[in-house]
Protein backbone atom coordinates (compact mmCIF):
# COMPACT_ATOMS: atom_id res chain seq x y z
CA UNK A 1 0.00 0.00 0.00
CA UNK A 2 2.83 2.38 0.84
CA UNK A 3 4.37 1.62 -2.53
CA UNK A 4 1.12 2.40 -4.22
CA UNK A 5 0.69 5.73 -2.47
CA UNK A 6 4.30 6.59 -3.24
CA UNK A 7 3.66 5.84 -6.87
CA UNK A 8 0.53 7.92 -7.06
CA UNK A 9 2.18 10.86 -5.33
CA UNK A 10 4.85 10.74 -7.99
CA UNK A 11 2.23 10.68 -10.75
CA UNK A 12 0.59 13.80 -9.37
CA UNK A 13 3.97 15.55 -9.27
CA UNK A 14 4.36 14.75 -12.98
CA UNK A 15 0.92 16.03 -13.85
CA UNK A 16 1.10 19.24 -11.88
CA UNK A 17 4.62 20.08 -13.03
CA UNK A 18 3.90 19.77 -16.71
CA UNK A 19 2.07 22.84 -17.97
CA UNK A 20 1.16 21.18 -21.21
CA UNK A 21 -0.62 18.29 -19.58
CA UNK A 22 -2.24 20.62 -17.07
CA UNK A 23 -3.66 22.62 -19.93
CA UNK A 24 -4.98 19.55 -21.69
CA UNK A 25 -6.48 18.38 -18.42
CA UNK A 26 -8.23 21.47 -17.27
CA UNK A 27 -8.10 24.09 -20.02
CA UNK A 28 -9.33 21.79 -22.77
CA UNK A 29 -12.74 20.88 -21.34
CA UNK A 30 -13.58 24.51 -20.73
CA UNK A 31 -12.31 25.69 -24.09
CA UNK A 32 -14.10 22.91 -25.94
CA UNK A 33 -17.41 23.42 -24.23
CA UNK A 34 -17.28 27.15 -24.87
CA UNK A 35 -16.14 26.62 -28.43
CA UNK A 36 -18.92 24.20 -29.24
CA UNK A 37 -21.46 26.12 -27.21
CA UNK A 38 -20.88 29.54 -28.67
CA UNK A 39 -18.73 29.53 -31.75
CA UNK A 40 -19.28 26.33 -33.63
CA UNK A 41 -22.99 26.12 -33.84
CA UNK A 42 -25.54 24.44 -35.99
CA UNK A 43 -28.06 27.11 -35.23
CA UNK A 44 -29.11 29.41 -38.00
CA UNK A 45 -30.23 33.01 -37.85
CA UNK A 46 -31.89 35.20 -40.48
CA UNK A 47 -31.22 32.90 -43.33
CA UNK A 48 -32.37 34.42 -46.62
CA UNK A 49 -34.96 32.34 -48.42
CA UNK A 50 -37.26 32.72 -51.41
CA UNK A 51 -40.89 31.63 -51.71
CA UNK A 52 -42.62 30.19 -54.71
CA UNK A 53 -46.30 30.05 -53.86
CA UNK A 54 -48.52 28.38 -56.44
CA UNK A 55 -51.66 28.54 -54.26
CA UNK A 56 -51.60 31.88 -52.52
CA UNK A 57 -54.40 30.77 -50.22
CA UNK A 58 -55.06 31.15 -46.49
CA UNK A 59 -52.92 28.21 -45.36
CA UNK A 60 -49.85 29.16 -47.35
CA UNK A 61 -50.16 32.78 -46.20
CA UNK A 62 -50.27 31.69 -42.61
CA UNK A 63 -47.28 29.41 -42.99
CA UNK A 64 -45.33 32.12 -44.77
CA UNK A 65 -46.20 34.52 -41.98
CA UNK A 66 -45.02 32.07 -39.39
CA UNK A 67 -41.77 31.56 -41.25
CA UNK A 68 -41.07 35.22 -41.71
CA UNK A 69 -41.96 35.88 -38.08
CA UNK A 70 -39.37 33.42 -36.85
CA UNK A 71 -35.91 34.78 -36.21
CA UNK A 72 -34.39 32.02 -38.28
CA UNK A 73 -35.50 33.11 -41.69
CA UNK A 74 -36.02 36.27 -43.62
CA UNK A 75 -37.90 36.16 -46.88
CA UNK A 76 -35.77 37.83 -49.47
CA UNK A 77 -37.71 37.26 -52.61
CA UNK A 78 -41.03 36.04 -53.93
CA UNK A 79 -40.77 34.25 -57.23
CA UNK A 80 -43.45 33.27 -59.68
CA UNK A 81 -42.14 30.46 -61.84
CA UNK A 82 -40.30 27.18 -61.27
CA UNK A 83 -37.79 28.31 -63.83
CA UNK A 84 -36.68 31.13 -61.60
CA UNK A 85 -35.57 28.81 -58.80
CA UNK A 86 -32.24 28.00 -60.34
CA UNK A 87 -31.65 31.66 -61.02
CA UNK A 88 -31.97 32.75 -57.40
CA UNK A 89 -29.69 29.97 -56.20
CA UNK A 90 -27.10 30.80 -58.80
CA UNK A 91 -27.00 34.39 -57.71
CA UNK A 92 -26.31 33.04 -54.27
CA UNK A 93 -28.87 35.34 -52.75
CA UNK A 94 -30.85 32.71 -50.89
CA UNK A 95 -30.06 29.49 -49.12
CA UNK A 96 -33.44 27.87 -49.64
CA UNK A 97 -36.61 28.07 -51.68
CA UNK A 98 -40.01 26.95 -50.35
CA UNK A 99 -42.21 25.71 -53.11
CA UNK A 100 -45.93 25.42 -52.17
CA UNK A 101 -47.93 23.18 -54.46
CA UNK A 102 -51.08 24.26 -56.21
CA UNK A 103 -54.33 24.14 -54.20
CA UNK A 104 -52.44 23.76 -50.94
CA UNK A 105 -55.38 24.53 -48.59
CA UNK A 106 -57.77 22.47 -50.60
CA UNK A 107 -55.54 19.42 -50.56
CA UNK A 108 -54.92 19.81 -46.89
CA UNK A 109 -58.58 19.71 -46.07
CA UNK A 110 -59.60 17.16 -48.68
CA UNK A 111 -56.73 14.63 -48.52
CA UNK A 112 -55.34 15.60 -45.12
CA UNK A 113 -52.13 16.08 -46.97
CA UNK A 114 -50.35 18.89 -48.80
CA UNK A 115 -46.86 19.26 -50.08
CA UNK A 116 -44.23 21.86 -49.66
CA UNK A 117 -41.00 21.34 -51.45
CA UNK A 118 -38.00 22.59 -49.45
CA UNK A 119 -35.17 23.18 -51.84
CA UNK A 120 -31.90 23.94 -50.08
CA UNK A 121 -28.47 24.91 -51.26
CA UNK A 122 -26.56 21.77 -50.39
CA UNK A 123 -23.12 23.14 -51.11
CA UNK A 124 -23.12 23.51 -47.35
CA UNK A 125 -24.88 20.28 -46.41
CA UNK A 126 -24.98 20.91 -42.69
CA UNK A 127 -26.70 24.24 -43.02
CA UNK A 128 -29.03 22.80 -45.68
CA UNK A 129 -29.93 20.02 -43.32
CA UNK A 130 -30.54 22.41 -40.49
CA UNK A 131 -32.67 24.70 -42.62
CA UNK A 132 -34.89 21.87 -43.73
CA UNK A 133 -35.20 20.68 -40.14
CA UNK A 134 -36.18 24.15 -38.99
CA UNK A 135 -38.77 24.55 -41.72
CA UNK A 136 -40.11 21.14 -40.85
CA UNK A 137 -40.47 22.05 -37.26
CA UNK A 138 -42.31 25.27 -38.12
CA UNK A 139 -44.63 23.26 -40.35
CA UNK A 140 -45.28 20.74 -37.61
CA UNK A 141 -46.01 23.50 -35.24
CA UNK A 142 -48.54 24.84 -37.70
CA UNK A 143 -50.07 21.42 -38.20
CA UNK A 144 -50.46 20.92 -34.48
CA UNK A 145 -52.27 24.19 -34.14
CA UNK A 146 -54.50 23.26 -37.07
CA UNK A 147 -55.20 19.85 -35.60
CA UNK A 148 -56.36 21.37 -32.38
CA UNK A 149 -58.48 23.90 -34.19
CA UNK A 150 -60.30 21.63 -36.57
CA UNK A 151 -59.88 18.44 -34.63
CA UNK A 152 -58.67 16.30 -37.46
CA UNK A 153 -55.94 13.80 -36.85
CA UNK A 154 -52.92 14.39 -39.02
CA UNK A 155 -50.30 11.81 -39.42
CA UNK A 156 -47.11 13.51 -38.34
CA UNK A 157 -43.78 11.92 -38.70
CA UNK A 158 -41.83 13.57 -35.89
CA UNK A 159 -38.19 14.43 -36.38
CA UNK A 160 -36.56 13.10 -33.16
CA UNK A 161 -33.98 15.82 -32.93
CA UNK A 162 -36.66 18.42 -32.86
CA UNK A 163 -38.74 16.61 -30.33
CA UNK A 164 -36.07 16.30 -27.72
CA UNK A 165 -34.54 19.64 -28.42
CA UNK A 166 -37.59 21.77 -29.05
CA UNK A 167 -35.71 25.02 -28.79
CA UNK A 168 -33.30 23.79 -31.42
CA UNK A 169 -30.35 24.51 -29.18
CA UNK A 170 -27.31 22.87 -30.70
CA UNK A 171 -25.33 23.13 -27.50
CA UNK A 172 -27.54 20.42 -26.07
CA UNK A 173 -26.44 18.18 -28.86
CA UNK A 174 -22.78 18.98 -28.36
CA UNK A 175 -22.48 18.49 -24.63
CA UNK A 176 -22.63 14.67 -24.75
CA UNK A 177 -20.17 14.67 -27.66
CA UNK A 178 -17.73 17.06 -26.04
CA UNK A 179 -17.88 15.16 -22.80
CA UNK A 180 -17.11 11.94 -24.65
CA UNK A 181 -14.17 13.50 -26.47
CA UNK A 182 -12.70 15.02 -23.36
CA UNK A 183 -12.99 11.89 -21.28
CA UNK A 184 -11.42 9.94 -24.13
CA UNK A 185 -8.61 12.46 -24.52
CA UNK A 186 -7.81 12.77 -20.85
CA UNK A 187 -8.11 9.09 -20.11
CA UNK A 188 -6.70 7.33 -23.13
CA UNK A 189 -4.23 9.81 -24.53
CA UNK A 190 -2.83 11.07 -21.24
CA UNK A 191 -2.36 7.59 -19.80
CA UNK A 192 -0.73 6.23 -22.90
CA UNK A 193 1.60 9.23 -23.02
CA UNK A 194 2.48 9.00 -19.38
CA UNK A 195 3.32 5.31 -19.63
CA UNK A 196 5.36 5.69 -22.82
CA UNK A 197 7.19 8.61 -21.25
CA UNK A 198 8.60 6.18 -18.71
CA UNK A 199 9.71 3.93 -21.53
CA UNK A 200 11.31 6.78 -23.41
CA UNK A 201 13.16 8.14 -20.40
CA UNK A 202 14.36 4.69 -19.45
CA UNK A 203 12.69 4.83 -16.04
CA UNK A 204 10.51 1.88 -17.06
CA UNK A 205 13.69 -0.19 -17.11
CA UNK A 206 14.36 0.67 -13.48
CA UNK A 207 10.75 0.07 -12.49
CA UNK A 208 10.86 -3.35 -14.14
CA UNK A 209 14.05 -4.20 -12.30
CA UNK A 210 12.37 -3.56 -8.96
CA UNK A 211 9.99 -5.54 -6.81
CA UNK A 212 7.01 -3.40 -7.81
CA UNK A 213 4.51 -5.55 -9.71
CA UNK A 214 3.36 -4.66 -13.22
CA UNK A 215 -0.27 -4.28 -12.20
CA UNK A 216 0.80 -1.91 -9.46
CA UNK A 217 2.56 0.22 -12.05
CA UNK A 218 -0.53 0.21 -14.27
CA UNK A 219 -2.97 1.02 -11.52
CA UNK A 220 -0.63 3.64 -10.16
CA UNK A 221 -0.47 5.22 -13.60
CA UNK A 222 -4.19 5.01 -14.22
CA UNK A 223 -5.55 6.05 -10.84
CA UNK A 224 -4.75 9.76 -11.04
CA UNK A 225 -6.43 9.95 -14.41
CA UNK A 226 -9.61 8.26 -13.20
CA UNK A 227 -9.74 10.91 -10.53
CA UNK A 228 -9.02 13.77 -12.93
CA UNK A 229 -11.47 12.49 -15.54
CA UNK A 230 -14.25 12.40 -12.99
CA UNK A 231 -13.48 15.99 -12.03
CA UNK A 232 -13.60 16.86 -15.71
CA UNK A 233 -16.93 15.17 -16.20
CA UNK A 234 -18.32 17.14 -13.27
CA UNK A 235 -16.93 20.41 -14.66
CA UNK A 236 -18.57 19.75 -18.02
CA UNK A 237 -21.96 18.90 -16.58
CA UNK A 238 -21.89 21.87 -14.22
CA UNK A 239 -20.89 24.18 -17.06
CA UNK A 240 -23.64 22.94 -19.30
CA UNK A 241 -26.21 23.35 -16.58
CA UNK A 242 -25.19 26.79 -15.43
CA UNK A 243 -23.81 28.43 -18.55
CA UNK A 244 -26.00 26.90 -21.19
CA UNK A 245 -28.98 26.26 -18.96
CA UNK A 246 -29.10 22.73 -20.17
CA UNK A 247 -31.47 20.62 -18.14
CA UNK A 248 -30.26 17.17 -17.10
CA UNK A 249 -33.45 15.17 -17.18
CA UNK A 250 -32.28 11.84 -15.84
CA UNK A 251 -30.51 10.55 -12.75
CA UNK A 252 -27.20 12.19 -11.92
CA UNK A 253 -26.07 9.04 -10.15
CA UNK A 254 -26.62 6.96 -13.25
CA UNK A 255 -24.82 9.60 -15.29
CA UNK A 256 -21.90 9.38 -12.90
CA UNK A 257 -21.71 5.60 -12.94
CA UNK A 258 -21.92 5.40 -16.72
CA UNK A 259 -19.19 8.02 -16.99
CA UNK A 260 -16.91 6.00 -14.71
CA UNK A 261 -17.54 2.96 -16.89
CA UNK A 262 -16.59 4.89 -20.01
CA UNK A 263 -13.52 6.38 -18.31
CA UNK A 264 -12.32 2.92 -17.36
CA UNK A 265 -12.78 1.65 -20.91
CA UNK A 266 -10.82 4.65 -22.23
CA UNK A 267 -8.05 4.06 -19.70
CA UNK A 268 -7.81 0.44 -20.77
CA UNK A 269 -7.47 1.65 -24.35
CA UNK A 270 -4.74 4.03 -23.20
CA UNK A 271 -2.81 1.19 -21.59
CA UNK A 272 -3.26 -0.86 -24.73
CA UNK A 273 -1.84 1.95 -26.84
CA UNK A 274 1.12 2.31 -24.50
CA UNK A 275 1.98 -1.36 -24.88
CA UNK A 276 2.32 -1.02 -28.64
CA UNK A 277 4.13 2.31 -28.82
CA UNK A 278 7.72 2.96 -27.81
CA UNK A 279 7.64 6.73 -27.77
CA UNK A 280 5.34 9.48 -26.53
CA UNK A 281 5.01 10.72 -30.08
CA UNK A 282 3.72 7.41 -31.39
CA UNK A 283 1.35 7.12 -28.46
CA UNK A 284 0.00 10.56 -29.23
CA UNK A 285 -0.39 9.82 -32.94
CA UNK A 286 -2.18 6.55 -32.27
CA UNK A 287 -4.44 8.19 -29.71
CA UNK A 288 -5.34 11.01 -32.07
CA UNK A 289 -5.74 8.99 -35.23
CA UNK A 290 -7.04 5.81 -33.71
CA UNK A 291 -9.31 7.22 -31.04
CA UNK A 292 -10.11 10.88 -31.50
CA UNK A 293 -10.95 10.75 -35.18
CA UNK A 294 -13.40 7.86 -34.88
CA UNK A 295 -14.95 9.51 -31.83
CA UNK A 296 -15.48 12.72 -33.73
CA UNK A 297 -16.46 11.24 -37.06
CA UNK A 298 -18.12 7.91 -36.41
CA UNK A 299 -19.73 8.16 -33.01
CA UNK A 300 -22.73 10.14 -34.13
CA UNK A 301 -21.38 13.18 -32.35
CA UNK A 302 -21.33 15.43 -35.40
CA UNK A 303 -22.61 13.30 -38.25
CA UNK A 304 -25.73 11.26 -37.65
CA UNK A 305 -24.95 7.55 -37.89
CA UNK A 306 -28.19 6.87 -39.77
CA UNK A 307 -26.98 8.95 -42.69
CA UNK A 308 -23.67 7.13 -43.02
CA UNK A 309 -22.96 4.47 -45.62
CA UNK A 310 -23.72 0.97 -44.31
CA UNK A 311 -20.09 -0.17 -43.87
CA UNK A 312 -19.38 2.86 -41.68
CA UNK A 313 -22.54 2.23 -39.71
CA UNK A 314 -21.29 -1.26 -38.97
CA UNK A 315 -17.84 0.01 -37.99
CA UNK A 316 -19.41 2.61 -35.72
CA UNK A 317 -20.70 -0.21 -33.52
CA UNK A 318 -17.15 -1.02 -32.52
CA UNK A 319 -16.59 2.44 -31.12
CA UNK A 320 -17.24 2.71 -27.38
CA UNK A 321 -17.91 6.41 -27.76
CA UNK A 322 -20.98 5.71 -29.90
CA UNK A 323 -22.62 3.79 -27.07
CA UNK A 324 -21.58 6.29 -24.47
CA UNK A 325 -23.09 9.14 -26.49
CA UNK A 326 -26.35 7.24 -26.80
CA UNK A 327 -26.34 6.69 -23.05
CA UNK A 328 -25.50 10.33 -22.34
CA UNK A 329 -28.21 11.62 -24.65
CA UNK A 330 -30.62 9.21 -23.09
CA UNK A 331 -29.89 10.38 -19.57
CA UNK A 332 -29.34 14.06 -20.21
CA UNK A 333 -31.89 14.85 -22.88
CA UNK A 334 -34.54 12.19 -22.69
CA UNK A 335 -34.29 11.59 -18.98
CA UNK A 336 -34.57 7.82 -19.33
CA UNK A 337 -33.24 5.37 -16.79
CA UNK A 338 -31.25 2.14 -16.89
CA UNK A 339 -34.28 0.16 -18.07
CA UNK A 340 -33.91 1.80 -21.48
CA UNK A 341 -30.13 1.89 -21.51
CA UNK A 342 -29.14 -1.53 -20.20
CA UNK A 343 -28.30 -2.79 -23.66
CA UNK A 344 -25.86 0.04 -24.40
CA UNK A 345 -24.43 -0.21 -20.90
CA UNK A 346 -23.85 -3.91 -21.33
CA UNK A 347 -22.09 -3.39 -24.65
CA UNK A 348 -19.85 -0.75 -23.08
CA UNK A 349 -19.14 -3.01 -20.13
CA UNK A 350 -18.24 -5.87 -22.45
CA UNK A 351 -15.85 -3.65 -24.38
CA UNK A 352 -14.25 -2.42 -21.18
CA UNK A 353 -13.63 -5.92 -19.91
CA UNK A 354 -12.21 -6.88 -23.30
CA UNK A 355 -9.80 -3.93 -23.40
CA UNK A 356 -8.63 -4.51 -19.85
CA UNK A 357 -8.05 -8.19 -20.56
CA UNK A 358 -6.16 -7.40 -23.74
CA UNK A 359 -3.98 -4.75 -22.15
CA UNK A 360 -3.11 -6.97 -19.21
CA UNK A 361 -2.19 -9.71 -21.64
CA UNK A 362 -0.13 -7.35 -23.80
CA UNK A 363 1.65 -5.70 -20.91
CA UNK A 364 5.25 -6.81 -20.82
CA UNK A 365 7.20 -7.64 -17.73
CA UNK A 366 10.39 -7.36 -19.76
CA UNK A 367 11.75 -5.06 -22.43
CA UNK A 368 10.56 -5.38 -26.09
DSSP-assigned letters across all residues of 110-162: HHS---EEEEE-TTSHHHHHHHHHHHHHHHHHHHHHHHHHH---------HHH
Which lies closer to other proteins via its Cβ, residue 21 or residue 229?
Answer: 21
CB of residue 320 vs other proteins: minimum separation in angstroms? 32
Which lies closer to other proteins via its Cβ, residue 130 or residue 280?
Answer: 280
- Backbone torsions φ then ψ of 278, nearest 5 degrees: -95, -25
- Rounded to an integer, what distance in angstroms lies between the CA atom of residue 66 and that of residue 58? 12
Which lies closer to other proteins via its Cβ, residue 7 or residue 174?
Answer: 7
Which lies closer to other proteins via its Cβ, residue 89 or residue 225?
Answer: 225
Which lies closer to other proteins via its Cβ, residue 78 or residue 206?
Answer: 206
CB of residue 208 vs other proteins: minimum separation in angstroms? 6
Strands of the 73-79 sheet, one edge to the other: 73-79, 47-53, 96-100, 116-120
CB of residue 87 vs other proteins: minimum separation in angstroms? 58
Which lies closer to other proteins via its Cβ, residue 283 or residue 325?
Answer: 283
- Rounded to an integer, what distance in angstroms lies between the CA atom of residue 144 and that of residue 252? 34
CB of residue 280 vs other proteins: minimum separation in angstroms? 13
CB of residue 12 vs other proteins: minimum separation in angstroms? 11
- Rounded to an integer, what distance in angstroms lies between the CA atom of residue 254 and that of residue 249? 11
Q: What is the DSSP letter of 76?
A: E
Q: What is the DSSP letter of 26?
A: I
HSE-CB of 181 using CA atoms within 13 angstroms: 26
CB of residue 225 vs other proteins: minimum separation in angstroms? 17
Which lies closer to other proteins via its Cβ, residue 19 or residue 148?
Answer: 19
List contacts with other proteins (CB under 8 A). 2-3, 5-7, 9-10, 13-14, 17-18, 201-203, 205-212, 366-368
Beta bridge partners of 118: 98
Annotate 136-145 with b (16+ C-beta within 10 A) or e (fewer). bbbbbebbee
CB of residue 224 vs other proteins: minimum separation in angstroms? 14
Which lies closer to other proteins via its Cβ, residue 43 or residue 205?
Answer: 205
Cα–Cα nearest to 194, from 2, 319, 7, 6: 7
Residue 300 zone, left/alpha/beta (φ > 0; ψ -120 to 50; rest): left
CB of residue 2 vs other proteins: minimum separation in angstroms? 6
- Rounded to an integer, what distance in angstroms lies between the CA atom of residue 308 and that of residue 129? 14
Amino acid sequence: MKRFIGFITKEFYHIFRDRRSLFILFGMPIVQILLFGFAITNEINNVDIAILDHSKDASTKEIINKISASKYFSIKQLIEREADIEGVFKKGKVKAVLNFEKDFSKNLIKDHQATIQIITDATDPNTANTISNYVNSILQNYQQEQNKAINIDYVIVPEPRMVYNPELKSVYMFVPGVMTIILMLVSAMMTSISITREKELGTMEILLVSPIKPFQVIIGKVFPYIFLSIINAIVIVVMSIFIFKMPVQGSLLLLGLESVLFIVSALALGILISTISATQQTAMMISLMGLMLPVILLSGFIFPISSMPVPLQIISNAIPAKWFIIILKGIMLKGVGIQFLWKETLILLGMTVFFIGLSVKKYKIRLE
